[in-house]
Amino acid sequence: MTVPRERTDPLRRLSQALEHSDASTRLRAALAAGTTPDPRWVDKLVERSAIEPEFHVRDMLTWALTRHSPSLAVPKLVEEVRSDRAQARSQALHTLSKIGDRRAWPVITRAVLTDADREVARSAWRAAVVLVPAGEERALAAVLATQLGRGGRQTQLSLGQALVALGEVIVPILHAATADPDPAVREHAIATERLLRDPDAGFEFAIEEAKRIVALGTTAGKG
């Protein structure tokens, strides 16, 4: 008896499992794809990452991709960063940050770092500080600083953490931003500077302190 092709084709089985209506089935499929890496899985894992609705499954898809050769995964993910679909861009950037292969750096453009979609931008910021080549930190910080004051607390925290990860090169850039006419930018710059100086203080404390400083009209360097 001839066994139907769909029962013997591992790629087809993986594809069907990743498209299953049950999230647990999709999660197990992604786990299996990472446990036993196979070059044939890469395209499907990237494709599914762009549309997968469940966070935990997306996280497992990212893990599975990190288990594959960067020479296969990175070019596919770079293509996804240029997608019209926001989730595809965001997830690809997130996965690139986990792989950490600096060959992906050229895709981290100003347009990506300032993407109108906040989740894409946040993923881009995290990827950028992982992938930035030595000597490019100051230029990256200058672009990131254009996003100061953007969004709500979580978005601002993501940007603050990215800037702090770049180290002392951000100090003059933040100092300049404390004179910005927009109070939200000034508050964010002061809070990030505080976070750099005292990481244990936490961003919530830093932003509340920054609000008081701005309200009083004092500078980041005064008490």
Distance CA 71, CA 83 (A): 20
Dig out the tokens for 196 from the structure.
């750099």
Condensed to tens digits (0 to 9), the pLDDT of residues 34-58 reads: 999 999 999 999 999 999 999 999 9
Q: State the pLDDT at residue 8.
A: 59
Tell me, rounded to whole angstroms, the distance of Cα 158 from its chain centroid: 9
For residue 101, CA distances in Å to 86, 108, 131, 187 come to 22, 12, 7, 34
How does the average pLDDT of the chain come out, rounded?
Answer: 91
Over residues 79-88, mean pLDDT = 98
For the cut 90, the answer to whether the pLDDT of residue 223 exceeds it is no
Nearest in space to 156 (alpha carbons), one of 191, 196, 202, 128:
191
Condensed to tens digits (0 to 9), the pLDDT of residues 87-109 reads: 999 999 999 999 999 999 999 99
Q: What is the rounded end-to-end Cα distance, in angstroms, of the chain?
A: 83
Distance CA 192, CA 214 (A): 14
For the cut 90, the answer to whether the pLDDT of residue 199 exceeds it is no
Q: State the pLDDT at residue 214.
A: 74
Q: State the pLDDT at residue 204.
A: 67
- pTM of the predicted model as reported, rounded to 2 decimal places: 0.88
Distance CA 210, CA 178 (A): 10
For the cut 50, the answer to whether the pLDDT of residue 220 exceeds it is no
Helix axes 86-99, 42-49, angle to 10 degrees: 130
Q: State the pLDDT at residue 205.
A: 60
Three-state DSSP class for residue 223 = coil
Q: How many CB atoms lie within 10 A of CB 101?
A: 15
Distance CA 123, CA 96 (A): 9
Distance CA 203, CA 205 (A): 5
Q: State the pLDDT at residue 93.
A: 98
Domains, the chain: 11-131 (1.25.10.10), 137-223 (no CATH)
**In this structure, are residues 160 and 141 in contact, taking their beta carbons and an 8 Å threshold?**
no
Condensed to tens digits (0 to 9), the pLDDT of residues 120-164 reads: 999 999 999 999 999 999 999 999 999 999 999 899 999 999 999
Nearest in space to 40 (alpha carbons), one of 62, 17, 7, 73:
73
**In this structure, are residues 99 and 135 in contact, taking their beta carbons and an 8 Å threshold?**
no
* Cα dihedral 197, 150, 117, 202 sign: positive
Helix axes 42-49, 55-66, angle to 10 degrees: 150
Q: How confident is the model at residue 218 (pLDDT cuts 50, 70, 90)?
A: low
Over residues 176-205, mean pLDDT = 87
